[in-house]
Amino acid sequence: MKTNLGLDIGSHSIKLIELYRDGDTGTLRAAGAIATPPKSLSSTLAADHKALADAVKQLVKQTGAKSTEVHVALPESQVFTRVIDVPQLSQHELSSAIKWEAEQYVPLPLDQVNLDFSILRDGKETGTGKMEVLLVASPKALIEKYITILDMADLNPVGAETEIIAASRALVRSAPSVRNVMIVSLGAQTTDLAILRNGVLAFTRSISAGGEALSRALAQSLDFNQLQAEEYKKTYGVDKSQLEGKIVAAIKPIMDTIISEMKRAILFYQEHNKNESAEVILLSGGTARLPGMVLYIAEATGIEVQLGNPWVGIRRDQRFAVLDPEGPTFTVAIGLSLR
């Protein structure tokens, strides 16, 4: 039976999911998470990469994962992903034309990136005569860094994709009948957005604000240390009735940034899609577990919000029951294991 190993190396924690694959779903074989050594992910120092590789190794050992071939997530903030409109071309024509198209959009010299593309909708489907193409440009230096780290951890990377693409695969299964779905992945350092039309990616964006910024804002306004701030954040969240609304007031500026980017994304999508709009917002990422987050975003956007459930359809025995509430944390790793 085919086994798939997904590894999501976040700035806060590293998540691992191993599945026995069966059709488009599977049976959970191994799962777990471990703290990311501080600042190691953003570092360029060999010692930090070694620390990261050691953490990955330890996670593989403690979860008992058996595969050595791994699918990894690349940080949205460092990969350039965009849905672009191009003239109607064949797959073959597009593979030679994509460089010219990419030059207009990718902010890095093209010899420094790996270019990848897939046709999302052809001219007939869009009704405009133009095709919609997903363009992904991954910096070569980033890919090399991941290869080095995984190699040190005795793992062999067989696939890489951005976090939001993996998260979308995991979550879209829970809302199969909804035409326009927004996915919001609230991590520690970043928040990634996507809008899917009929399960296909139609828009992506990444914002550099997440759970860490919320804790920092809380520490500053209420004069807490980092640990206290983290504790209060997880206990009271964005529930306005708690502590006379002091917690919410402290983290509101960060939430405002996230909400306003979400609204901009929704507006952009409406303008480009004949006024179709996100019908439901599915949340993922550790920060989605903040008490009151679902209600807060629903009130701020006027759209139905749910905590995404990536476990839908995945068979798992009793020993994994403790992970049920941790779905948001494991969404990206689950999506990778479903590739």
Ligand X SMILES: Nc1ncnc2c1ncn2[C@@H]1O[C@H](COP(=O)(O)OP(=O)(O)OP(=O)(O)O)[C@@H](O)[C@H]1O
Residue ranges binding Mg ion (CB under 5 A): 10, 187
Decide whether 234 or 272 has the Cβ nearer to ligand X. Answer: 234
Decide whether 37 or 123 has the Cβ nearer to ligand X. Answer: 37
Decide whether 78 or 277 has the Cβ nearer to ligand X. Answer: 78
Q: Among Mg ion, ligand X, none, what binds residue 308 when CB lies within 5 to 8 Å by partner kind?
A: none
Q: How far apart are CA 211 and CA 183, in angstroms?
A: 17
Decide whether 172 or 290 has the Cβ nearer to ligand X. Answer: 290
Q: How far is the CB of 117 from ligand X (least distance, A)?
A: 24
Q: Among ligand X, Mg ion, none, what binds residue 212 when CB lies within 5 to 8 Å by partner kind?
A: ligand X
Decide whether 174 or 329 has the Cβ nearer to ligand X. Answer: 329
Q: How far is the CB of 20 from Mg ion (least distance, A)?
A: 25
Q: How far apart are CA 235 and CA 11, in angstroms?
A: 22
Q: How far is the CB of 143 from ligand X (least distance, A)?
A: 17
Decide whether 55 or 133 has the Cβ nearer to ligand X. Answer: 55
Q: How far is the CB of 84 from ligand X (least distance, A)?
A: 25
Decide whether 33 or 248 has the Cβ nearer to Mg ion. Answer: 33
Q: Among Mg ion, ligand X, none, what binds residue 310 when CB lies within 5 to 8 Å by partner kind?
A: none
Kindly tell me the sign of the dihedral angle through the C-alpha atoms of 71, 74, 79, 80: positive
Q: How far is the CB of 94 from ligand X (least distance, A)?
A: 31
Q: How far is the CB of 280 from ligand X (least distance, A)?
A: 20
DSSP structure class, residue 321: G
Compute the residue count for the chain: 339
Q: How far apart are CA 216 and CA 61, in angstroms?
A: 33
All residues at 6 or more sequence positions from 293 whose CB lies less than 8 Å from its CB, including other chains: 186, 237, 238, 283, 287
DSSP structure class, residue 36: P
- Cα–Cα nearest to 180, from 107, 266, 105, 261: 266
All residues at 6 or more sequence positions from 286 whose CB lies less than 8 Å from its CB, including other chains: 12, 13, 186, 187, 188, 211, 328, 329
Q: Among ligand X, Mg ion, none, what binds residue 289 when CB lies within 5 to 8 Å by partner kind?
A: ligand X
Q: Among ligand X, Mg ion, none, what binds residue 290 when CB lies within 5 to 8 Å by partner kind?
A: ligand X
All residues at 6 or more sequence positions from 78 whose CB lies less than 8 Å from its CB, including other chains: 139, 142
Q: How far apart are CA 125 and CA 119, in angstroms?
A: 11
- Cα–Cα nearest to 251, from 215, 288, 285, 209: 215
Q: Among Mg ion, ligand X, none, what binds residue 6 when CB lies within 5 to 8 Å by partner kind?
A: none
Q: Among ligand X, Mg ion, none, what binds residue 167 when CB lies within 5 to 8 Å by partner kind?
A: none
Tokens encoding 191: 């928040």
- Cα–Cα nearest to 191, from 46, 328, 86: 328
Task: Provide the binding-site residues for ligand X, judged by CB under 6 A.
Answer: 10-13, 187-190, 210-212, 230, 234, 285-287, 289-290, 329
Q: Among Mg ion, ligand X, none, what binds residue 337 when CB lies within 5 to 8 Å by partner kind?
A: none
Q: How far is the CB of 222 from ligand X (least distance, A)?
A: 16
Q: How far is the CB of 104 from Mg ion (least distance, A)?
A: 29
DSSP structure class, residue 252: H
Decide whether 68 or 226 has the Cβ nearer to ligand X. Answer: 226
Instruction: For residue 205, give Cα distances in angstroms to 75, 146, 165.
Output: 12, 22, 11
DSSP structure class, residue 79: S
Q: How far is the CB of 165 from Mg ion (least distance, A)?
A: 13
Tokens encoding 43: 């570092």
Decide whether 162 or 180 has the Cβ nearer to ligand X. Answer: 162
Phi, psi of 191 (to 5 degrees): -120, 125
